[in-house]
Amino acid sequence: MNFARITGYSLILATLLATTIGSSQESKEKPLRIIAFGAHPDDAEFRLSGCAAKWTALGHKVKFVSVTNGDIGHWKESGGALAKRRIAEVEEAARRLGIEVEVLDIHDGEIMPTLENRKIIARLIREWDADIVITHRPYDYHPDHRNAGLLVRDAAFMIRVPFYVPDTPAIQHATTFLYFYDRFTTPYPFKADIAVSIDDVFDKKLDAIDALASQVYEGGALGTEKTLTQRFAGDEIMRKKFLTKSWQNRDGNIADKFRESLVKWYGEEKGNEAKYAEVFEICEYAHQPGEAEIKRLFPFFD
């Protein structure tokens, strides 16, 4: 028996073990980094503000990116002035949520899945060193939603390739790509792989969305003069009531529609009690997290 070799081997093993334990402790303490790409300055806020509030409350880092500047998203105003207004709106929403936000200078209604745009998205994901990336499914009524979804989905593999956009270092760890909820059924309906109850942060979500007045109270691209009256644009108390009712309906319907997934993640009692939910589908072109990893990425289920 060669004692020296065994000892040397054991030493290497011990060092390796220490390194592994060290890095796993480090990864436990390291905040999660989540980046979400919406096509317009409201999409990520509408679909993810509840989870964003939950993540930030636990010290994790969240960033929303709007791939367009929203400059035609209103029935009465447009252009640079509208883009500025909408940037200010999402900045205020981000301030209320405690997250970061960025609005890309691409015209609303004009996102194309070009190589240049894919590189922009890949750089943003890498710079954020994302553990989770969330976007639209490329099956959606709005061409900007589809194209933003395509751009992000097509970056899923490329962010790990070192010689793709080599000016930004490739991501070395697993990144999970997810889709926001949508109601479309062609080519297949949305699958709620992950369902999160947002009951405890529902007011915080409303508070963030309340900052997006051009959309929620004035009706965005398809509003009219009548919308202003219907949504009580001038009356703060009535406005809050309108907002609360709309989002109780919207996120309440999601909870009812995906009750099975809520029960899967929270158990029978809590899953059935949940009133409002945000749900996500796992993109199959990137890392596939198992149940334990999903619980680490969404530390909300206990």
Residue 56 beta carbon to Zn ion: minimum distance, rounded to whole angstroms: 23
Sheet holding 100-103, edge to edge: 100-103, 61-66, 33-38, 132-135, 176-179, 277-282, 194-197
What angle do the packed helices 143-158 and 115-128 form, to 10 degrees?
60
Q: Segment near Zn ion (CB under 5 A), from 41-49, 95-103, 118-126, 178-186? A: 41-49
Distance of CA 67 to the CA centre of its chain: 13
Q: Please tell me the distance from the alpha carbon of residue 254 to that of residue 265, in angstroms, as a whole number.
A: 15
Residue 39 sits in the site that holds Zn ion (CB under 5 A): yes
Q: Please tell me the distance from the alpha carbon of residue 212 to that of residue 6, in angstroms, as a whole number.
A: 66
Beta-bridged to residue 194, according to DSSP, are 280
Residue 67 sits in the site that holds Zn ion (CB under 5 A): no
Pick between residue 33 and residue 153 the one whose CB is nearest to Zn ion. 153
Q: Segment near Zn ion (CB under 5 A), from 43-51, 149-157, 175-183, 198-206? A: 43-51
Query: Which residue sits closest to Zn ion, CB atoms considered?
Result: 40
* Chain position carrying tokens 């390796």: 16
Element (H, E) at 281: strand 277-282
Q: Which two tokens stand for residue 63?
A: 């960033």
Residue 53 sits in the site that holds Zn ion (CB under 5 A): no
Q: Please tell me the distance from the alpha carbon of residue 14 to that of residue 18, in angstroms, as a whole number.
A: 6
Residue 142 beta carbon to Zn ion: minimum distance, rounded to whole angstroms: 6
Pick between residue 151 and residue 294 the one whose CB is nearest to Zn ion. 151
Q: Segment near Zn ion (CB under 5 A), from 36-44, 93-101, 159-167, 262-270? A: 36-44
Pick between residue 60 and residue 146 the one whose CB is nearest to Zn ion. 146
- Contacts to Zn ion from residues 141-180, by CB under 5 A: none
Pick between residue 35 and residue 39 the one whose CB is nearest to Zn ion. 39
Pick between residue 139 and residue 301 the one whose CB is nearest to Zn ion. 139
Total residues in contact with Zn ion, by rule CB under 5 A: 3
Residue 136 beta carbon to Zn ion: minimum distance, rounded to whole angstroms: 8
Helices (H), the chain: 3-29, 43-57, 79-97, 115-128, 143-158, 202-209, 213-216, 225-230, 236-257, 259-266, 268-273, 291-297
Q: Please tell me the distance from the alpha carbon of residue 279 to that of residue 299, in angstroms, as a whole number.
A: 14
Residue 45 sits in the site that holds Zn ion (CB under 5 A): no
Q: Segment near Zn ion (CB under 5 A), from 34-42, 94-102, 162-170, 265-273? A: 34-42
- Considering only residues 32, 34, 36, 40, which one is a binding residue for Zn ion as defined by CB under 5 A? 40
Pick between residue 3 and residue 141 the one whose CB is nearest to Zn ion. 141
Interaction site with Zn ion (CB under 5 A): 39-40, 43
